[in-house]
Structure 1
Amino acid sequence: MAQTPAAAAAAAPARGFVALFGSYDCDDCAAVKKQWPEAFALADGPVLVFLPIEHAPNYALLSLLEDALQPGKKAESFPIFLVGDKLIGDLDAFYELADELPALSKNTPSLPLLAEIAQAAAKAAQLVVELRVAAAPSLPDAAPTSLRPASASSSRLLYFYQKGCAKCSRQDKELAILRVSLPALQLASYDVATLDGQILLRRAKRHFTLADDNKNLAPMVCWPTGYITGRLASASELQQALAASTQDAFWSSPITDAERRNEQQQQGRLLKSFTVGVVILAGLIDGFNPCAFATSVFLIGYLLYLKRRPREIAVVGFSFCAGVFLAYVLFGLGLSFLLDTISDMLWLKKAIYGFFAVAAFVLAIGHLRDALRVRKSGKPSDMSLGLSNTTHRKIHDRIKNLTEHRSWLMLPAAILLGVIVSSMELACTGQIYLPTLAAINAAGINLLAFLLLILYNLCFILPLVVITGMAIAGIGTKAVADWGRKHVGTTKIAMAALFIAIAIVMGVLAFS
C-alpha cells in the first residue's frame, strides 16, 4: 500500500534539513549549495533541500509557509531559507547561524506542508538535494473565493522593474501567480532604465503626487488608485486592490512624441550636471596623460622633421585624431555592452565595480609616487606607471612607417595609425577610461550613457587636436614638449586625485 508523504516522513528516521527556496540563476543560491558539503561533511549533517521557484508548486509552498509561520515582513528577494521554525531572507543572517544549523535543522515544526521536504531529506544520499513538490490540493492556485472577481476593465497593473534587480525576481513570481488567478489581467511592464519606462514612471509620480527625484522605485506595482514600492506586493494583496478599483488606468493612453521629446530634454539637462563635469575632467586628464601626450607630440614633431606642408600636417594630424576617437569609442561601446550583458549577474557586476575600486586606489598611490619621483629627480623616465620603452619604440616605428611617404593613402593610413597606436596605449590610458565607463553605464545603456561616452572621447583627443592646430600655425613642438615635461608631475597629481574619486564612486556602486 502506497504511503502518503506525511506517513513516509514519519516512518523515516529523523534527519535535520534546511530548505532553500531560490532560482537557478540565483548566484547566492549556487554559492550556498557549493559550500554546503564542505561545511557539513559529517554523515549525519543536515541536508540542504533546494526548492527551485521556477517550479510553481515550490513557490506556492513558500507562500503557504509564510502564512503559517508569520515571519513578519516577507523577504523581498532570494534566497530564502527555512531553518527550524523560521524563514530567513537575509543571507548574512543565515551565515551567522552556521554553528547552530545542525541543532536548528532538527527543530523543524511538524507541519503537513513540510512532509515532502522531510521525506526528501530522510532519503537523501547526498547533503544537497533538489526537490520539486507535487501539485497537491493543499497548494491552491485559484484566487480566494471571498474576493469579488475583478472585472476585465479593472484588471490592469503597471509594473516597473530593472535588469539585475534582486527584489524584482520575487515580485515577478507574485505577478505570475496573479496572472493564473486573473487570466484577464493586463500587465504593462517597463524597465526603468529605458526611455518609455522613465516616461511612465514620471506619469505615475504625477498621478500619485510623488517627489520627482532620482530615487530608484523598482520594483513598483501600480493600479489606478494605488501603488506598492519598497516592499513585496503579494498576489493576494494585488487582487484585493484590483477588486476594489473602479478607475481607468492612467497609463492606458499611448506614449506621445511630446512626452518622448520632453523626457529626452530631461536627460539632456542631466548633461549639464556634476556628472558631465567629472566626465570632461576625466577625459582631459586622460588626454594629458604622459602616455598619450608624448605620442601626440612625437607624431607632429616627426611630420615637421619631414618638412611636411601645413596641409599635409592637417590631413595626417586630424585623421590620426579621428582614428584615435573611433578606436576609443568602439572600445567604449564594446565594454558598455559587456557590462550590460552581465547586468543580470549582480554579484559579477558588483565584483567588477569592487575590482575597479581597489585598482583605482592602487593606481592613485602609484601616480602620487610617480609625482614625487619626478619632482625629486626631474626625470619623467623615473615614473613606473606608463608605457615601457619597448612599447614606445614600437609606436614610434609605426608612426615612421605610415607617415614617411606622400600619397593619397595618407588619410586612411593616418586613421589606421590612430587605431593601432590607441590600441597599444590602452594599457596606460585605459587606467582612467575603463572605470569611467563602468560608472557611466551603471544604470545600463541609454542615451545619456552614449552621450557621456562621446563627450569623454572628445575631451580625450582635444590635446591632440590643439597640438595639431599649433603645428599647422607654424608653432614648433619643442615648446609643447617642454611644457609637457615641466608639468608631468602636476598631471600625475591630477590623475591621482581623479583615481581617488573613481575609487569612491566604484566603491559606492559595489556596495549599493
Structure 2
Amino acid sequence: MRKRPVHQHPATKLPLSRTAGILILLLVLTTGIAQAGNVSVEYFYESGCLKCAQASPVIEKIVTQNPDINYSEYEIAASFSLAKQYGVNTVPAVVINKSTVINYEDYKGDTELLETMLSESIETAPPIPDKTESDIGISNSPESWNTDTQTPYVIFIAGLLAGFNPCLIAVMAFLASVIVSSGGSRKDMLVLVTGFCSGIFVTYMIVGFGILNTISYFPGIRETITTLMVLLVAFLGLWHLYDAYYIKKHSKSSFKTPRSFIDLMGKAEGRNILAISFIGGSIFSLVKAPCVGAVYLMILEMLISGNNILEGTLYMALYNLGVILPILILGALLAFGLDPEKVNEYREKRRVEIRLVTGIILILLALMLNFNII
C-alpha cells in the first residue's frame, strides 16, 4: 500500500495567554456538550408489574421532553446481572448516568414526585463514571446484595408455621380416628391425607390467583384491597389472642367446626375416600380460614405490593406446599402407627400457647405491612 506524501506547513506561533484561553474555552464547551447529550437513563421493569405500569408513562414523558437523553429499557428477569450491578433488586427502578438510582420506595407511588425527582436527577446528573470505577463501586455496595433471594425461604417458612396449626392437627387426628374406627388400612390413610392436602392446595391456589389476577386487571383497587388485607390480618391476630383467653376460660375454642363438615369426613371410606377427602380439604380451607388464612392473607398482601403475576403464583404454590407439608408428615406418621389420641392430647395441651404466639405474630406482621417494613 502506498503512502500519500505529507505536505509541510509552517507552524503558527500563538501567545501563551491566548493558547490557554482557547484551551479553557474548549474545555467548557466540551463539558457542556457532554452534560447535555450524554445523560443516560436506564429503566428496569417487569412484565405484569402494577407499579411499573404506573411509572412508565411518567418516565416516557420525561424522556420525550429531553431528546438528548440516551434511554434504555430492561426487563429485569432478562437483565438481572446488570440490575444487580446497580444495586437494583426491585422494580420499577430508574438509573441515571449509571450512578443515581430512583426506586419505588423513593416516591411510594406518587407519580408527581417521581416526575420531579427524575427531572432534577437528569438536570444535575453527575458524569458517567469510568467503567472500572463503576464496577468497583457497585460490586462493593451494600445495595447490590440481592435481598429478594430470601423471599422464597420466608414464604415457605410462613407456610410451615401455618401448617403447624391446632386446627389442622385436630382435623388430621379426627381423620385418622375415622379411618381406624372404620377398619381402614394404611393405604386408606395415605389416600385420605393426599386427597385432603390436595383440596387445601388447589383451593388456596384458585382463591389467591383469582385475587392477584383481579388486581392485575383493575390496578385502581390495589390500595383498597391492600388496606383491607392489613386490617383483616390485624383483626385475625386479635381474634387469636381472644381465642387463647376463651380457651383458657371455657376449655373450648371460639373457632367452630361445622357439623356438616364432620359428617362429610365421617363418610370417607372405601372407594370414595379420595373424592370425599379432596372436597373436605377444600371446605376446610374456607371454613377454617381464621386458622390458616391469616398468614395467607399476609403473603397475598406482599405479592400484591410486588411485581409479577407469574412470580406471585409460584410464591403462592411455595406457601401452600409449606402448609400441607406438616399435614403430609403427620398423616404418614399416623398411617405408620402414631396414636391419634396422643396427637389430639398434645394439641389440647398446647393450643393456648399456639394461639397466643400466632396472634402476636399476626399483629406484628400487620404493623410491618402497614409501615412497608416488609
Q: Bin the TM-score by the shorter chain.
A: 0.5 to 0.7
- Residue 77 of structure 2 is aligned to residue 189 of structure 1: no
Aligned to 1:353: 226
Map of 1:338 onto structure 2: 214
Moved more, 297-306 or 318-327: 318-327
Distance 1:410 1:371, change over 3 A: closer
Q: Note closer, same or farther for the CA distance 1:507–1:155 as it changes in structure 2 (3 Å cut).
A: closer
Between the aligned partners of 1:320 and 1:491, the Cα distance in structure 2 is 23
Please give the per-residue CA displacement for 1:161-191, whole angstroms capped at 9, x wherever unaligned: 564266654333122334xx57xx8743235
The answer for the alignment partner of 1:306 in structure 2 is 182
Partners of 2:324 and 2:101 in 1: CA distance: 48
1:52-110 residue CA offsets vs partner (Å, 9 max, x unmatched): xxxxxxxxxxxxxxxxxxxxxxxxxxxxxxxxxxxxxxxxxxxxxxxxxxxxxxxxxxx
Give the match for residue 28 of structure 2: none
- The yes-or-no answer on 1:469 pairing with 2:356 is no
2:285 counterpart of 1:419: no
Instruction: Please give the secondary structure, in 2, of the residue aligned with 1:487.
Output: helix
Contact kept? 1:371, 1:490, Cα under 8 Å? yes
1:366 corresponding residue in structure 2: 239
Q: Does 1:173 align with 2:50?
A: no
- Cα distance change on mapping 1:313 and 1:362 into 2, 3 Å: closer
In structure 1, the partner of 2:150 is: 270
Unmatched runs of 5 consecutive residues or more in structure 2: 1-31, 107-115, 132-144
Query: Alpha carbons of 1:301 and 1:268: their partners in 2 closer, same or farther (altered >3 Å)?
Result: farther
**Equivalent residue in structure 2 for 1:232, among 117, 134, 138:** 117
**Over aligned residues, Cα RMSD in angstroms?**
4.1
**Contact residue 354 and residue 506 of structure 1 kept, 8 A:** no
Q: 1:158 aligns with which of 23, 33, 42?
A: 42
Q: Counting helix residues as a fraction of each chain, which structure ranks higher? A: 2
Cα distance in 2, alignment partners of residues 428 and 456 from structure 1? 15
Structure 1: runs of 5 or more not aligned: 1-146, 206-211, 249-264
Q: Work out whether 1:201 is the aligned partner of 2:76.
A: no
Take 2:366 and 2:360, find their aligned partners in 1: how far apart are those partners? 10
Partner of residue 24, structure 2: none
- Judged with a 3 Å threshold, the aligned counterparts in structure 2 of structure 1 residues 218 and 284 are, in CA distance, closer, same or farther, namely closer
1:399-444 C-alpha deviation (Å, 9 max, x unpaired): 133x23x23x543553344334323433653233112221244322
2: distance between equivalents of 1:376 and 1:234? 62
Distance 1:334 1:411, change over 3 A: same
Match of 2:142 in 1: none
C-alpha displacement of 1:236: 12
**Structural mapping, 1:292-303, within 5 Å:** 292-303=168-179
Q: Does 1:503 align with 2:369?
A: no
1:308 is displaced (CA, Å) by 0.2
Amino acid at match of 2:294: Q
Aligned position for 1:455: 318
Structure 1 residues 400 and 220: alpha-carbon distance in aligned structure 2, compared to 1, 3 A threshold:
same
**Alpha-carbon shift at residue 459 of structure 1 (Å):** 2.5
In 2, distance between residues paired with 1:267 and 1:148?
Answer: 39
Cα pair distance change 1:340/1:270, threshold 3 Å: farther
Matched residue SS, 1:307: coil
Counterpart of 1:164, as a letter, is: K
Kept after mapping to 1: 8 A contact 2:264/2:276: no
Change (3 A) 1:269 1:167: closer
TM-superposed deviation, 1:480: 0.9
Q: 1:395 to 1:174 in 2, by over 3 A?
A: same
Aligned residue among 173, 177, 198 for 1:322: 198
Task: Return the structure number with greater relative CO, CA threshold 8 A, min gap 6.
Answer: 2
Identity score, percent:
21
SS in 1 for 2:74: strand
Please report how far the alpha carbon of residue 304 of structure 1 lies from its aligned counterpart in structure 2 after TM superposition.
1.1
Aligned to 1:32: none
Distance 1:291 1:187, change over 3 A: same
Output the amino acid matched with 2:62: E
Give the 3-state SS of the residue equivalent to 1:220 in structure 2. Answer: strand
Q: Which amino acid aligns with 1:220?
A: V
Q: TM-score, normalised by structure 2?
A: 0.68
Distance 2:228 2:148 in 1: 31
CA 1:167/1:480 → structure 2, altered by over 3 Å: closer, same or farther? same
Which amino acid is the alignment partner of residue 44 of structure 2? F
User: Within 5 Å, which residues of 2 pair with 1:237-252?
Assistant: none
Contact kept in structure 2, 1:300 and 1:471, CA below 8 Å: yes
Aligned positions of 1:12-161 closer than 5 A: 157-160=41-44
Give the drift of 1:157.
4.8
Q: Closer, same or farther in 2 for the Cα pair 1:312/1:490, shift >3 Å?
A: same
CA contact (8 A) 2:169 2:343 kept: no
- What is the rounded CA distance, in whole Å, between the counterparts of 2:242 and 2:309 in structure 1? 38
Alpha-carbon offset, residue 475 of structure 1: 2.3
Give 1:197 shift: 5.1
Question: Offset at 1:368?
Answer: 1.5
Counterpart amino acid of residue 42 in structure 2: L
Q: 1:393 aligns with which of 259, 265, 268?
A: 259
Specify the SS of the correspondent of 2:43: strand
Q: Kindly tell me: are residues 299 and 355 of structure 1, through their superposed partners in 2, closer, same or farther at Cα, counting changes over 3 Å?
A: same
Matched, 1:220 2:105: no
- The equivalent position to 2:346 in structure 1, one of 483, 489, 506, is 483
> Equivalent residue of 1:196, what SS?
coil
> How far apart are residue 280 of structure 1 and its match?
4.4
